[in-house]
Amino acid sequence: MYNKIKDSINEVIKENPPDSVLFSGGVDSSAILYHAHQYNPNVMGITVGVEGKESSDIEYSKMVAKELGIQNHQVYFVKPEQVKSMVETSVRILKSFNPEWISSTTTLLLGTMYAKKQGLKSISSGEGADDLLGSFPFFKNWKGDYKSLDKAIKDRLGEIVIMSDVIAQNMQMQYIAPFQDERVKKEILNIPIEERMKEEGEIKTKYPLRKAYEQDLPPICITRPQTMAFTGSGIYETIKSIGDEISDEEFLGACKKFFQFKNKFEYALFKIYQKNFKFIQKEQGGCVHCGSDMGKNKINCKTCATLQIDGRELSFDGDDRQ
């Protein structure tokens, strides 16, 4: 029933097989690696992990790689100090101080750097599937009806920055983006929103994609619970500790001077952002969270990446904030 999704992804990869795939062991990147391996048996699957931290990405990627017969699977362990040293680069690349997206960017950046060091010219990832299939928490916990959810997803698709693409460009590598390709987007968005958000048994997210690959990918991959790029790798918890260096007095003062930061982690990233970019708040009509100019964006702040609908902030976990 969902074979058109698989066919369109296969078409993108067949036209331009990547040298490497950022590989978490989740259904998105596993689908990409599955096709890439068909056309390039030496394709490298790259999994990023933090030294000394438990990582579901490493656990699942090893199992999936073995099942798929991927010989060139590399687990790239990074020291916590190296992770923290990359944060400012991630802020400069993404031009944002959003904790979740900076953590994701850092994960993708480290994986791409590893591919570059190995002399590889192109890289792919599963980035974009979460947006297309509404699997982020703020979509899964949507308070409105399906029609408004479908509109929010489509609006956001037109406003977000493709992190992997920006990173690859910065490193003079080619990024192959199946889930940003119009053929793939069309096939997924043609599926009614109710089906895209469907839950069945152990499948709680990305129902059409998981069903499309249930005969091709290992069951552990099809039923793996949803994880984000930054949590599965351990990057988020590592970077989050930079907020521990902020005193209560400084944090409260910053909240009064600028806006109500979610936590010290966000404020620590904001300080790095301020060092690299000019932060300007609008008197009226700016982002509901940070107050900056949204530009042409309707629902996704260009600066803090906050999702907002009708003047309400949707936090990453899906809770509305007035």
> Which residues form the domain of 12?
3-237
Residue 31 domain-assigned?
yes
CA 60 centroid distance within chain:
18
Long-range CB pairs of 212-217 (<8 Å, 24+ gap) are 212/2, 212/3, 212/5, 212/6, 212/31, 213/6, 213/27, 213/30, 213/31, 213/34, 216/6, 216/31, 216/34, 217/27, 217/30, 217/31, 217/34, 217/64, 217/67, 217/68
* Predicted local confidence at residue 321, as pLDDT: 45
Is 256 contained in some domain? no
Q: Is residue 309 part of a domain?
A: no
Cα gap 84→214, rounded to integer Å = 38
Which pTM does this prediction carry? 0.93
- For residue 174, the surrounding DSSP H or E stretch is strand 174-176
Q: pLDDT for 212-245, tens place per residue? A: 999 999 999 999 988 776 677 789 989 999 999 9
Is residue 68, in this structure, part of any structural domain at all?
Answer: yes
Read off the pLDDT of residues 24-82 as tens digits, 9 standing for 90 and up: 999 999 999 999 999 999 999 999 999 987 788 999 999 999 999 999 999 999 999 99
Residue closest to 46 by CA, chosen among 120, 114, 143 = 114
Over the stretch 76-97, which tens digit does the pLDDT of each residue have?
999 999 999 999 999 999 999 9
- What pLDDT digit, counting tens, does each position of 243-281 carry? 999 999 999 999 999 999 999 999 999 999 999 999 999
Residue 202 lies in a domain: yes
Q: Give the total number of structural domains in the chain.
A: 1
- Tokens (6 digits) for 250: 């400084």
